[in-house]
Structure 1
């Protein structure tokens, strides 16, 4: 796992990594058992030049120090009272990252449903705050840890391939200059667990995966 993760992040543009994460398995070995699923939605944030990024214009603090870490460093932060999970992607002190927005649950569904009871199954993990609630991560204790050493990691060997990857502007980016419309959000077309996916656009037979 260690070698695979190092190779996966090594010397590649953040948007390319964000797209390649789609279909890979996010896995958390939590206190009640393993939970996780296939990543279906990501957003890329391009550091100091990106007016929507936490490191815009070189901003650096104790809160966002994880973004300045080596590739695979976990960055957990709170936004509007919800916890979000970001991954540093570039060399140390180059603060670019990827927000994991949504997953399709495949591991520990019972545990995740207990963590976040919802009458509609597709609402379980279709957003970054919802995802963290379902995983059972409601603190920043894993902040600054590395995916290759933490209970929260990415399994590159268990995956599906999207039929189509779509891109759009990032969600919730407002009044941030020319970066508002940048197409840096990537998602599996038709997957019902993608945030804000309209019912008419859901591929309920394939969930957007190649067979």
Structure 2
């Protein structure tokens, strides 16, 4: 039986060497894939948010804050940074390069494969768009957990591949969401999303 990895090969590590504000929109249209003992599920990335570490008051690593939680951001790009907020796990792509603690939050995906498994993990959800239209929702739907912290995103069980189709789309940008206490940083237009995609969070 073919696995998701056989069908969708991981993007090369060099892909993550782009500057954070270029990598964040470049992730749109890519496929986020997670394999679990229950099966695999994937979603097309339709919304991201960039966090530029030391200079970004909204980032966990603002002013180079180095803690057990942020440690992975101080390493190489292309690793998963997961954390829990309000009991929900969120997943980020580490960017910026070694000793530059930046990251990109995967904010929403459009379900692509493993829909029965996704639905079984979100049994109370009636509207399909609400299965994965938020960072906590998509992690629960795909089976991404804190165990994925520090995982290299070029190999199973969690990886990012090129999108399934070369369908053109328009990228929109605007302020990030839910960071009202971040001073001027709350106005930075560092949120990127696919225009008119119904799975975008807001």
TM-score by length of 2: 0.91
Pair 1:159–1:24, CA change in 2 (3 A): farther
**Which residue matches 1:37?**
43
Matches within 5 A, 1:84-95: 84-95=90-101
C-alpha distance in structure 1 between counterparts of 2:153 and 2:162, whole Å: 12
Give the equivalent residue in structure 2 for 1:49: 55
1:18-66 per-residue CA deviation (whole Å, 9 max, x = no partner) reads 1011001111111211101110000000011000001001101111111
SS in 2 for 1:129: helix
Change (3 A) 1:159 1:54: farther
Shift of 1:162: 4.3
Distance 1:161 1:9, change over 3 A: farther
Closer/same/farther in 2, CA of residues 162 and 46 from structure 1, 3 Å limit: farther
* Long gaps (5+) in structure 1: 197-211
CA positional deviation for 1:9: 1.4
Q: Which residue, out of 190, 201, 206, partners 2:196?
A: 190
Q: Paired residue for 1:74?
A: 80
Unaligned runs of 5+ in 2: 1-8
> Following TM superposition, by how much is the alpha carbon of 1:158 offset from its aligned partner in structure 2, in angstroms?
2.9
Match of 1:179 in 2: 185
Which of 117, 137, 141 is the matching residue for 1:130? 137
The SS at the match of 2:31 is strand
After TM superposition, give the deviation of residue 160 of structure 1 in Å: 4.0
Distance in 2 (CA, whole Å) between partners of 1:162 and 1:77 is: 32
Alpha-carbon deviation of 1:147?
Answer: 0.7
Q: CA RMSD, aligned part only?
A: 1.4
Conserved 8 A contact 2:48-2:192: yes
How many pairs does the alignment contain? 193
State how far apart, in whole Å, the 1-side matches of 2:197 and 2:12 are.
Answer: 25
5 Å-filtered alignment, 1:97-136, equals 97-117=103-123, 118-136=125-143
What is the TM-score when the length of structure 1 is the normalising length? 0.87
SS in 2 for 1:180: helix
Write the deviation string for residues 138-181 of structure 1: whole angstroms up to 9, x where unpaired.
Answer: x3111111112341100126344442111110010112121111
Paired residue for 1:203? none
